[in-house]
Structure 1
Amino acid sequence: MLSKEQKIEKLEEFIKRDKFSEEAWNQRGLLPSSDEMSQELNAFFNTTAQKLIKNIEKNCASKTLQKTFNSQLATLEKDDFDTEENEFVCDLLYELASLVEVEISEDLNNWLYGSTLDTISYLQEMFESQKKVEIIEQVCTKCSSMIEFIIKDIDDHTAQTDWLVAECVTCLELNLIPTGKNIRLQNYGTYLVKEQLDGKDYNQHQAIQYLEHLKKSPK
């Protein structure tokens, strides 16, 4: 469990980050949205994080933090964004909720897919129309919490392996996640991407060596 000071520090780091940079879109295997849309979404998330900081400074209960998320979420019109933008929004909100240890999965699900019946219908349609989707679970090397992500758009003809250096949101440990070219990872908010290593420059041994170097480097 993070302390009050640690939560505020992580939220401040979140605010400083360009959450909708070209690199952030590329990591999801997507073309960037317009600058106007990206700026609008950055402003939304910064405002949300600032409100959470104020809640934490006042020692508000988890229910108050959850109400802050819900009130902010209510200001977003899902129809204003495409499917990939909506998924990006939900992933970042889940990340924020994880930082302050609040559970909002059901709220995000209702916003993204609608009622339970709508969700079942959507999942059935997705299952019937899309290729196999693989959910990956990787245990954090420090705290043993589960790092979860979904792999989409797999290119079966790609042999090259790329690597993500990911920070566990529970204990801040750096972990190495193997990926591949033309693979899109959808983050469930259990990790933060710190760096992406190109498989042309790093084999497995080199990637592990680089990870250990980062762990020893001063933060």
Structure 2
Amino acid sequence: MNAFDYVGLQSLKHKHMPDNQSTITKLIAFKERDKFSSSAWEERGLNPSPDDEMSHYLQQFFNDCAAGLADAVENEASPAKLKSLLKRYLGKIKYRDYDTEEGEFICDLFEEMAHIIGVNINDDLNNWLHGRTLNVLWKLKSIFNKTKPAEIQFTSCTGCEVELETHIISKQEGIPDQGWMIVRCNNCNEFNLLSFGKGIRQIQFINYGWIETLPPDKFNHTQALTRLQQVRTYRR
């Protein structure tokens, strides 16, 4: 699929309904951003990738993907077609060519584009990152693990005020506090900071997803809030 250049994308501004225009504008911003700059790596707590050739390739790859999606939006493609297109781009990248941190970085960028066009490809990203068999096993475990929780906690999402539901499946004395967790609300995609205290042996997230754990020996509350803001800024 031919990629739109910047001028071509800008020329669409007067030709679309507001929703389409908003989507195209976000894709333009995504395309223009230096997605693999040194600061982009550092914001993830990682050293910049020493492989400039790899970063250049991925930058161009994601630019082409954003342009292809913009082309599809311009032609009023359905959500199903947009999702199929995004999945085809994901299929062009081989996970074995990248280490774990690079793979997670790639998944985050695909998730960002999926959010822009309003589709969900989380299962495909999990299959790509972890392998289809492991992903299926995780799903089966969640289906059959219906143990009554020892405790249920609710925390209001800072974005939409939906109650984020946490099931404490089991507790055990002597287990230290695991620190802060950055999570994402399934309802509004807002990032939140949660902490569950000591003695948590097994836990289940009901209506939100885990993003990152901030260990207490490296993050106090103020530092955790700073990291939360970095995640909000980077992953929106």
Contact 2:183 2:212 in 1 (8 A): no
On the 8 A contact 1:86/1:112 being kept in 2, the answer is: yes
Please tell me whether the aligned partners of residues 83 and 121 of structure 2 are also in contact (alpha carbons under 8 angstroms). Answer: yes
Q: Does 1:6 align with 2:42?
A: no
Q: 1-side partners of 2:216 and 2:75: how far apart?
A: 49
Question: How far is the alpha carbon of 1:153 from its aligned partner?
Answer: 5.2
Runs of 5+ consecutive residues of structure 2 not aligned to the other structure: 1-17, 142-176, 192-209
Q: Contact between 1:94 and 1:104, CA under 8 Å: does it hold in 2?
A: yes
Structure 1 15/159 Cα, relative in aligned 2: closer, same or farther at 3 Å? same
**Residue 89 of structure 1 aligns with which residue?**
106
Change over 3 Å in CA distance of 1:45–1:27 after alignment to 2: same
Q: Counterpart of 2:226 in structure 1: which amino acid?
A: T
The one-letter code matched in structure 2 to 1:8 is: I
The alpha-carbon deviation at position 65 of structure 1 amounts to 0.7
1:142-161 correspondence runs (5 A): 145-148=188-191, 150-152=211-213, 154-156=215-217, 158-159=219-220, 161=222
Residue 62 of structure 2: which of 42, 45, 62 is its match?
Answer: 45
TM-score (norm 1): 0.63
What is the Cα deviation at residue 43 of structure 1? 0.8
For the aligned residue pairs, the C-alpha RMSD in angstroms reads 3.0
Residue in structure 1 matched with residue 92 of structure 2 by the alignment: 75
Q: TM-score, normalised by structure 2?
A: 0.59
Match in the other structure for 1:193: 234
Deviations for 1:77-114, whole angstroms, at most 9, x for unmatched residues? 10100000000000110000100101111111111111
Equivalent residue letter for 1:95: E
Unpaired runs of at least 5, structure 1: 125-130, 164-177, 195-219
Q: Which one-letter code corresponds to 1:73 in the other structure?
A: L
Counterpart CA distance in 1 for 2:53 and 2:22 is: 32
Tell me the secondary structure at the aligned position of residue 150 of structure 1.
strand
Task: Please tell me whether residue 16 in structure 1 is matched to residue 59 in structure 2.
Answer: no
Percentage identity across paired residues of the two chains: 36
1:179 to 226, 229, 234: 226
CA gap 1:82/1:162 in 2 versus in 1, 3 angstroms? same
> What code does the residue aligned with 2:132 have?
S
SS at match of 2:92: coil
Please list the CA deviations of residues 145-185 of structure 1 after superposition, one character each: whole Å capped at 9, or x if unmatched. 3423633352525548348xxxxxxxxxxxxxx136xx9x8
CA distance in 2, matches of 1:152, 1:161: 15
Q: Given the alignment of the two structures, is residue 29 of structure 1 paired with residue 45 of structure 2, yes or no?
A: yes
Question: Do 2:26 and 2:116's aligned partners in 1 also have CA atoms closer than 8 Å?
Answer: yes
Paired with 2:73 and 2:58, the residues of 1 have a C-alpha distance of: 23
Aligned length, in residue pairs: 160
Q: CA deviation at 1:132?
A: 4.5
Secondary structure of the residue aligned to 1:152 is: strand
Q: Could you give the per-residue CA deviations for residues 40-94 of structure 1, whole angstroms, max 9, x where no partner exists?
A: 1111111110000000000000111111111111110101000000000001100
CA gap of 1:64–1:157, structure 2 versus 1, over 3 A, is closer
Q: Which has the higher contact order (CA 8 A, sep 6+)?
A: 1
